[in-house]
Amino acid sequence: MSAAESGPDDGAARWHELALRVPEARVEEVCEALEALEALSVAVEDADADTPAEHALFGEPDQPPPAAGWQRSRVTALFDTEAQAREAAALLQVQDFFDGCDVEGVRPVRDADWVRLTQAQFEPVPITDDFWIVPSWHEPPAQARTVLRLDPGLAFGTGTHPTTRMCLRWIARHGAVAGRRVLDYGCGSGILAMAAARFGAAEVDAVDIDPAAVEATRANAAANGVALRAGPPELAQGAYGVVLANILATPLKVLAPLLCGHVAPGGHLVLAGILERQAGELRAAYAPWLALQVADAEDGWILMTAQRAAA
C-alpha cells in the first residue's frame, strides 16, 4: 500500500485524489479542465518514473535537450470530496480532448499523508560544512553550527536553487556582512536577509515588490528569532555595507543605478540570477558605477560581485 492510501484504521480522508494517465500533447488541456472543475491542486509527473521508460526533462552536458515534457504523464488532482473527484472524471471522459487519456482511479488522501509526502521532498541543505538550511520537521545535522529554519512556502528561496546557494555561500565565507548594514533586494522568503543577520550584520533591510514575499520574510524572520525590517522597495534608504540582489538579468540591468546607489564606500554589491552567457551584458550595464567580477558559478548560473572604493 502506498503512503497516500487509507487503510481500515487510518482515520477519515481529508481529500480525494483523481489520478489520470495523459499523453504529453494533452497535458495542458487536461490540467486546465481540472482547474476549471475546481480541483484544489493539480500535479503532473512522469507516468514512467522509476521505470526503464523514464524520460529526462533536462539534457546532459553537450547533448541537445530532450523534447519538453514526458511522453506519458500522470496527472493527479485533489478534490474536497469523493463525489467531486468522480464527477470530474466522468466529465473529462466525455470530452474530445480526453482521447488517449485514461482514468487510473480515485483514492482518499489523509492529512498526515499529504504533509508527509510534501515534507519528504525537502531535506536539510548544506551551504558550507557547518551552515545548513533545515526544514522545521528535521533535526539539524550534527555538524551544523549555523542553522536557518525554513519550510517551503509561497515565496522563492528555500536554499535549493543554485542562485540562492551561491549568495548564501558568499555571505558565509566572505565575512563582509559582520557589523554592517545589509540590504536584501528581492528578498523572497527572506533567506539571504536572515543569513546576513546570522553572520553578524548590524542591521538588515529586506525588500520585495511582492507583498506575499514581504509577509513570508517577516514570518520566517520571527520563526528564526532574527531581527530585520521587511517591506516594499521604498523601505531601502541610504547606504549599505552589503547589497544583495538575486533577481534575474533583465531586472538587474534596470535596477543598476538604484542598487549601485545603495552601496556604501568600501561596500559590496552581490548579484545573482544571472546565466553564464549574460556576464558581459551585466558587466556593461553596471560599468558606469561598479566593476562586476564573476565570483562563483554553479549549474550554469553565476554570482557577480563588486566592491566600491573606500572613501
Options 50-58, 66-74, 184-192, 280-288: segment touching ligand SAM (CB under 6 A): 184-192
Distance between CA atoms of 69 and 73, rounded to whole angstroms? 8
CB 272 within 8 A of CB 246: yes
Q: Which of 164/224 has CB closer to ligand SAM?
A: 164
- Collapsed DSSP state (helix, strand, coil) of residue 148: strand
The vertex-72 CA angle with 69 and 76, nearest 5°, equals 90
Q: Which three cell numbers stand for residue 25?
A: 500533447
Distance between CA atoms of 203 and 201, rounded to whole angstroms? 6
Residue of the chain from 108, 135, 157, 241 that contacts ligand SAM (CB under 6 A): 157
Q: Which residues make Cβ contacts (< 8 Å) with residue 289, sequence separation at least 6?
A: 256, 257, 260, 261
Sequence ranges of the binding site for S-adenosyl-L-methionine: 164, 186, 208, 246
CB of 150 to ligand SAM, least distance (A): 10
Greatest C-alpha distance within the chain: 73
Q: Does 267 bind ligand SAM (CB under 6 A)?
A: no
Q: Does 270 bind ligand SAM (CB under 6 A)?
A: no
Residue of the chain from 251, 266, 289, 294 that contacts ligand SAM (CB under 6 A): 251
CB of 245 to ligand SAM, least distance (A): 8
Residues 203-242 as x/- pattern, contact with ligand SAM by CB under 6 A: -----xxx--x-------------------x---------
CB of 16 to ligand SAM, least distance (A): 33
Residue of the chain from 19, 88, 187, 274 that contacts ligand SAM (CB under 6 A): 187
Residue of the chain from 273, 295, 296, 301 that contacts ligand SAM (CB under 6 A): 273
Options 23-31, 94-102, 108-116, 155-163: segment touching ligand SAM (CB under 6 A): 155-163
Residue of the chain from 44, 88, 144, 167 that contacts ligand SAM (CB under 6 A): 167
Measured CA to CA in angstroms, residue 157 lies from 190, 221, 247, 290 at distances of 7, 13, 11, 27
Among 188, 165, 177, 287, which residue's Cα sits nearest to residue 243? 177
H helices present in 178-241, as ranges: 191-198, 211-223
Handedness of CA 7, 13, 17, 18 (dihedral sign): positive
Task: Count interface residues toward ligand SAM (CB under 6 A).
Answer: 21
Residues at the interface with ligand SAM (CB under 6 A): 155-157, 164, 167, 184-188, 191-192, 208-210, 213, 233, 246-247, 251, 273
